[in-house]
Structure 1
Amino acid sequence: MQRGVFVGLVTLDLIYRVEHLPGTNQKLVASDYGVFAGGPATNAAVAFSYLNHQAMVMGGVGVHPVTHLIRADLQQYGVTMVDLTPKRTEPPPVSSVLVTEATGERAVVSINAVKTQVMADQIPAKCLQDVAIVLIDGHQMAVGEAIAQQAKAQLIPVVIDGGSWKPGFDRVLPYADYVICSANFRPPDCESDQAVIEYLKSLSIAHIAITHGEHPIQYWSNGQTGSIAVPPVKAVDTLGAGDIFHGAFCHAILQQEFVEALVEASRIAARSCQFFGTRQWMEERVRSEK
């Protein structure tokens, strides 16, 4: 069992499963719903913890009454919450998610961490003690930069979750060992996957991967390029699949080489898509093993 620190967005996710997205002035009755802690780093931490590690998520939550729902969910899945805004009274970021039954595709409305940015001086001392890996999702950029710098100095591998380009990523990326980004990740003046890879290579990043949903993962690793097929599944819900991929990658890279870790993460993320919400895939496995 090893320790991982996950830095970034912590939200409360309200998820509804619907037959179709609502039209203007239309009301829908959902066929299922769920309430979970969410955010890229948060879901990755939950997956990492589930895969028999110790996970600590670092972000801003505060003391608003609804934050107990976030804390309770994380506690249930063994994730330690380090709240960098412990006196904040405003509500935490809340995401509303509609998952279409037929396709598993999701529509998300969220404020993210725009109004809950935290300065690096709020980072607790010795937070990287005995830590084996760090993941940064870019939603808390000042904190992410400071943690990445500390991790680099202590020879702790740094994984970047590049869901989309965010201002300030250019200051964090030089400390990264692994960058795994989506097809939506576009640094300035990068209009193609190859341009993204060349940009990241220019920062001396040794291992790069770009995910494309159900399509093959493209990677570059120490001069070697290739693609990895994603396991075909009937998707029930794609929400959080990328986050789970990153948490599973953090688990796998501690034991395997880069390409093998991508394969393992892809397998776990694909499995998660077969269940509604971001937690049921874990609960179903637990029940099946009893």
Structure 2
Amino acid sequence: MLLAGLCTVDLVQRVAEFPGAGEAARKVQSRAVDVAAGGPATNAAVTVAALGGQATLLTVLGAHPLAGLARADLESCGVRVLDALPEHLAPPAVSAVVVRERDGERTVVSHNAAALGEKPAFCLPFDGQIADFLPVRAVLVDGHHPELALAAARWARASGVPVLLDAGSWKPVLDELLPLVDIAACSADFRAPGRSLHERGVPAVVTTNGPAPVRWSTLDDSGEVSVPRVRARDTLGAGDVWHGALAWGVGRFELPELIGFANEVAAERVRHAGPRSWTAAVRGLVAGLERGT
């Protein structure tokens, strides 16, 4: 799988409770701390690798020392990184995350890829390096680096590879990107101005809404798939994990079974506390599928 988009450095603190109103100046003692690579495409890539797929992340990290933390984490997860700006000296995007232990809810303060500017001089790998990561069964883009998203999607369309879009919010690049997309996986808050996604050329649209059923539609059918009820211990990145499972399942399942599989993987993720503790359990899901259980 090729996954193109944002990579952040996440500093994750687990706490008993979030500070209440009027407590902004009060220190809160965390119970655990993790540092991991994050971001929509990145967490999806970790999921693909955990499921046993070959995951290649096309992103921007650069040469700042903080980028080394993300690279090391991704290497330990089995994700290959293609850095489109390897000499970039500024720090990568950083997210400060607080997770509440009793229910896994989180708050995130982040600085995304906007600091790179509109059209940086990316060193795209498609001209000379594409043979290094073939074959690619699917491409997922999150739109955070518009030039990377378009390059990956255009290559996929020319190569007959399905394109999935993680559509968390509307981005200007989507006007160009949507006609290249085969499956748009949207959050409940996503809104496309003017025309619907089907009218914009997207054959399949899937909409998640937390624990509520996942809705899906094609040009001639629609439905919804229930989400497993679990005790959540950590919801950080659960949606990204869902998108990674969806990408891994393309070509293995058809709608709506594909959605059901992604739901099971995301449910397994939220059962576990910490940014990587869930990966072994996800491997077990795949082993069960292979055994036919």
Same fold (TM over 0.5): yes
2:266: which partner in 1?
A: 269
Query: Structure 2 matches for 1:34-183, cutoff 5 A?
Result: 34-117=34-117, 119=120, 122-124=123-125, 125=127, 126-127=129-130, 129-183=134-188
2:18 equivalent to 1:17? no
CA deviations over 1:250-271 (Å, ceiling 9, x no partner) = 1112211121111000000011
Q: Which amino acid in the other structure matches residue 156 of structure 2?
A: A
- Contact 1:221/1:258 (CA < 8 Å) preserved in 2? no
3-state DSSP of counterpart to 2:114: coil
- Contact 2:178/2:201 (CA < 8 Å) preserved in 1? no
Deviation at 1:66? 1.6
Query: Structure 2 matches for 1:116-265, cutoff 5 A?
Result: 116-117=116-117, 119=120, 122-124=123-125, 125=127, 126-127=129-130, 129-188=134-193, 199-265=196-262
CA distance in 2, matches of 1:178, 1:214: 21
CA deviations over 1:208-231 (Å, ceiling 9, x no partner) = 100001111011024111111100
CA deviations over 1:16-69 (Å, ceiling 9, x no partner) = 111222231111111122111000000000100111111110111011112111
3-state DSSP of counterpart to 1:115: helix
- Contact 1:16/1:32 (CA < 8 Å) preserved in 2? yes
Change in 2 beyond 3 A, CA 1:20/1:175: same
234-243 or 20-29, which deviates more: 20-29
**Where in structure 1 are there 5+ consecutive unaligned residues?**
190-197
CA distance in 2, matches of 1:6, 1:287: 23
CA distance in 1, matches of 2:265, 2:15: 25
Residues paired across the two proteins, number: 278
- Contact 1:9/1:113 (CA < 8 Å) preserved in 2? yes
3-state DSSP of counterpart to 1:122: coil
Q: Which amino acid in the other structure matches residue 187 of structure 2?
A: S
- Contact 2:154/2:180 (CA < 8 Å) preserved in 1? yes
Change in 2 beyond 3 A, CA 1:63/1:234: same
Q: Which amino acid in the other structure matches residue 123 of structure 1?
A: L
Deviation at 1:283? 3.8
Change in 2 beyond 3 A, CA 1:58/1:19: same
**Where in structure 2 are there 5+ consecutive unaligned residues?**
288-293
TM-score norm. by structure 1 comes to 0.91
Task: Select the residue among 270, 276, 291 that pairs with 1:279.
Answer: 276
- Contact 1:120/1:146 (CA < 8 Å) preserved in 2? no
CA distance in 1, matches of 2:268, 2:66: 30
3-state DSSP of counterpart to 2:138: strand
- Contact 2:15/2:31 (CA < 8 Å) preserved in 1? yes
CA distance in 2, matches of 1:106, 1:58: 27
TM-score norm. by structure 2 comes to 0.90
